[in-house]
Structure 1
Amino acid sequence: MTAADIIDAWDQADPAAIHPTRGIDEDAYWDSGRNQAALLGTVLPDGAKVVDFGCGDGRVAIPLRALGYDVTAADASQNMLDRLHQHDPGMPTLLNSGDGLYAVLGKKVDAVVALAVLIHHGYADCLDLLAELRQTVKLGGLLILDWPVSDDPVEGQVWLDVTTWSQEAHDDACKRIGLKPVEAHLPWGVYRAVKPATD
Structure 2
Amino acid sequence: MSRWEELTGGTSGEDYAARFEALADSGKDMHGEARLCTSLVPAGARVLDAGCGTGRVMIRLAELGYDCVGVDRDASMLAVARRQAPQLPWIQADLATYDPAELGVAAEFDLVVAAGNIFPLLATGTEPAVISRLSAALCPGGLMVAGFGLDEAHLPVPPGITLSQYDAYCAAAGLAFVDRFATWDAHPYEGGGYAVSVHRAHRG
Residue 192 (str. 1) matches residue 200 (str. 2):
yes
Going from structure 1 to structure 2, the CA distance change for 1:17 and 1:162 (only over 3 Å counts) comes to: farther
Of 9-18 and 44-53, deviating more is 9-18
Q: Structure 2 vs 1, CA of residues 170 and 39 (structure 1 numbering), >3 Å: closer, same or farther?
A: closer
Q: Match for residue 69 of structure 2?
A: 72
Q: Which residue of 175, 179, 195 maps to 2:171?
A: 175
- What does residue 135 of structure 1 align with? 136
Greater Cα offset, 60-69 or 86-95: 86-95
Q: Which moved more, 1:186-195 or 1:133-142?
A: 186-195
* Overall identity of the aligned pairs, in %: 23
5+ long unaligned stretches in structure 1: none
Residue equivalent to 2:88: 91
Q: Is the 8 A contact 1:147 1:164 kept in 2?
A: no
State which drifts further: 77-86 or 116-125.
116-125
Which residue of structure 2 lines up, in the alignment, with residue 11 of structure 1?
A: 10
Counterpart amino acid of residue 191 in structure 1: H
- Mapped contact 2:70–2:89 kept (Cα < 8 A): yes
| Counterpart amino acid of residue 139 in structure 1 | P
Aligned residue for 1:62, secondary structure, equals helix
**Which TM-score applies when normalising by structure 2?**
0.75
Residue ranges of structure 2 left out of the alignment (5+ in a row): 187-194
Conserved 8 A contact 1:21-1:29: no
> In structure 1, what is the equivalent of residue 162 of structure 2?
165
2:176–2:200 CA contact under 8 A, matched in 1: yes
> Which structure exhibits the higher relative contact order, with contacts defined as CA atoms closer than 8 Å and separated by 6 or more residues?
2
CA contact (8 A) 2:12 2:76 kept: no
Shift of 1:110: 1.1
Give the structure-1-normalised TM-score: 0.77
Aligned equivalents of 1:29, 1:180: Cα separation in 2: 37
Structure 1 residue 96, shift from structure 2 partner:
1.1
Change (3 A) 1:29 1:79: farther
The Cα RMSD (Å) is 3.1
The number of residue pairs the alignment matches comes to 185
Contact 1:119/1:146 (<8 A) preserved? no
CA contact (8 A) 1:81 1:93 kept: yes
